[in-house]
A and B are shown apart, each in its own frame.
Chain A
């Protein structure tokens, strides 16, 4: 957080059918619908999140991810980061306050992998859902499905990882927590953090620009991940792989798809990061184990199915 970028704040996900998508993200993932806007977008949050929304769904005819937003500590930091991006040669676009309801101005930029990101300082503080901020109970009643705790991170697929690294690490103050190196020493995957989390955003090399691998949501326990697996079967939801453990980050995980084919993850556990930690390296020769620690073999769908 050395440059003032604090945490993942939101992701706008494109869906083919809004009703099916809302049902998936609320009934199955357990997010809470908090608003809709005149563009037909639906705003959702997970129950422990203090701001009004973290996932925005928009109905269009091609699924994928429009952008991921990071919250910064204050307006001064936003101004400085905006200047730093411009000085570094990154084009920025101004998105006015209220373009997303109850969200302040956003500074949008596209990195060389083809993905759009945003920085913002203000969003309406609504507090955790269903619990008081004074003498709070452990959890709220009435949560649905997987009871997602928070929107945690995204994984994107695209080219030019080195240039993306430079922007995130040198301009935005992220740290490299984990990486995958090929035999020539080229970084083909980078897991970046601005916090104590193992990753706040990750990239894997892919020739085509701007592809979306998944949006991930945090759960408390392995038991909750297994329960998520039960719910995926009960609802006949399209599964990708899991429950299993990753080598990378060591998180315990399951992957599945929303009704438009966007991949979701729910996970628990995983390593932690402090700024004095050196990056953890996996080699592509062990990529199977890096991705799926138990099977130690890749599932082709996981590596190639993208929106």
Chain B
């Protein structure tokens, strides 16, 4: 598939990897929105990005940025700044970079699964939920930052093991932030530091409409576990989600309300689909009526 013509997608910043992933003097190829690109790192550490064309030529990509330890690229003209996550500058949390994981589905399907609570009891049984407490209480959906960000707040769920740091079965509060089509961040109660939040975030790299590279991080309060221990907790969770994502059809996210019957706890997903529909985004969306 060639480079997309979807301007909404092209004019966004997309994470394409961690800075540490490319050593000094090395280069890495990847693909973004159907376009082959190459990231080159000079011996002094500076990054450059190029679109690779079929005729062998390489066009420089001017919009390239390092933030939060990730490399961000915009193949068009950035319509918004990169999402602001001030917690990266705060102390007290452990940063776990979770490594890129590929998913053969649209980035929007990945986000929708990420913001869904009602699968916790069935897909993350024993950690984020249990069969005996599957009910999802009502939560709040709102728009912030002038409608550019979608939030689901006051989500609560009873969790046997909410994080690597705890085995305390308890109700946990969640806020979900969706600042752009391909990014979502969870703010959930830390059970180690009361009153503080842990962050788990996805920066999705839309490779093709039905292929996504998931870059992700966790900023968590944890005084007991090794990095690997925390990492594997999140890999287990995401691996379980991935086991569903690869089996969902269609892979592109349907936006018509006649497709995919929702229920009450799908309020955030309904809002996400509507928000995507109105944004004019095409990439990764299935706009068929039936």
Q: Do A and B bind each other?
A: no
